[in-house]
Amino acid sequence: MKALRSIRLTPCNPSSAAPALCCCLVISAAAGCLWRGYATIMNVHLDVLTQTADKLCAVVESRRPLSAEGMAEYVYPAQRGREFLRQFGSYRARPSYRHFGELLDRYEALVRTVDALRAQGRDWQPELPRLTAERDAIRRLAEQIRGELKTETG
């Protein structure tokens, strides 16, 4: 009991303020990630998606085998992109938002096509021109979105 009386809890006591300060910093940092900007975060997604589409086509072209587990590497970026769209749903009226959804649809279709070919054990080479054309369309759409991001406000 005597030990309890010797503890002074005051607003100026740094040890009592530390947990509250940490909580505020964590909340600020989390909000800061979203505050950092719609355009900044979308550009990262565009980079990852286009680079991953490039890699997928390079794997097909090289005739390296893909496992079902290995396909997760190509599925994950689209999942993260969909999460981005959910987080920034208030931007849905922007052309960049709508076109990013289209890009995700095309990217997911490319991944599904490759996965279907993998599962069937078919030779991928006859499909390569179609796959690379789709990859190129994804790249063009990404560039269009980057241009839209530069002209959109906020």
d(CA 47, CA 84): 14
Per-residue model confidence as pLDDT tens digits over 33-83 = 444 699 999 999 999 999 999 999 999 999 888 888 999 999 999 999 999
CATH assignment of 37-151, among 1.20.120, 3.30.390, 1.10.10, 1.10.472: 1.20.120
Strands (E) in the chain, as ranges, are none
Domain spans of the chain, in order of start? 37-151
Q: Which residues fall within 8 angstroms of residue 130, CB to CB, at 6 or more apart?
A: 113
d(CA 129, CA 60): 11
SS (HEC) of the chain: CHHHHHCCCCCCCHHHHHHHHHHHHHHHHHHHHHHCCHHHHHHHHHHHHHHHHHHHHHHHHHCCCCCCHHHHHHHHHHHHHHHHHHHCHHHCCCHHHHHHHHHHHHHHHHHHHHHHHHHHCCCCHHHHHHHHHHHHHHHHHHHHHHHHHHHCCC
Per-residue model confidence as pLDDT tens digits over 109-130 = 999 999 999 999 877 788 999 9
User: Which pTM value belongs to this model?
Assistant: 0.76
